[in-house]
Amino acid sequence: TRRIETEGGISLLFTDTVGFIRKLPHGLVKAFRATLEEVSYADVLVHVVDASNPAREDQMRVVYDTLRELKCGEKPVVTVFNKTDLPVEMPLPLDDIARYRLSISAKQGFGVDKLVDTVQEIARSLKKSICVLIPYDKGALLSIVHSCEITVNESREDGYYFELYADEETENRLRDYIVR
């Protein structure tokens, strides 16, 4: 897992799960299952496809079948065709499941910024913009506020004012302090 802090103030965690390999021995499938189940906790799935692999369409099918088995078929997906710096058979496969399709070369750095921006955009769309006023005597709540993407931060006469993007759980925890 790697944390990326975006220029927009969002902290993103990227976790690399095991690759999807067909015809694994049953014992290995069970061992990998626990790792794969981590995707159920993700807000956004980044499906990395080796664009230079002739079996890429079959591999994509296996990934989506597995995601359905894990009951993760409704999560937003960004399909990333990696290794576009290598010879790639065109056209790239269609992907009706993914919200976005990007072509990158992780090795060369091409398209990586667009990937981070896209994931940030999706993560932000899953949250609600709220404004809160935290009284000065409720400073313990600031740790909750600072776990969010903050767009406005002001000290006012009656407390700390923030405009931020919050998930449903955070919004509920700050409900008594929402001003609009």
What tens digit of pLDDT does each residue of 38-69 get?
788 888 999 999 999 999 999 898 888 888 88
Q: Are strands 159-166 and 2-5 parallel, antiparallel or unpaired?
A: unpaired
Cβ atoms 96, 90 nearer than 8 A: no
Q: Dump pLDDT digits (tens) for 19-32.
A: 666 666 667 766 67
| Whether residue 93 has a cis bond before it, omega within 30° of 0 | no
Q: Is 151 in a helix, a strand, or coil?
A: strand
Can you tell me whether residue 16 is helix, strand or coil?
coil
Distance CA 168, CA 82 (A): 33
Q: How many CB atoms lie within 10 A of CB 95?
A: 18
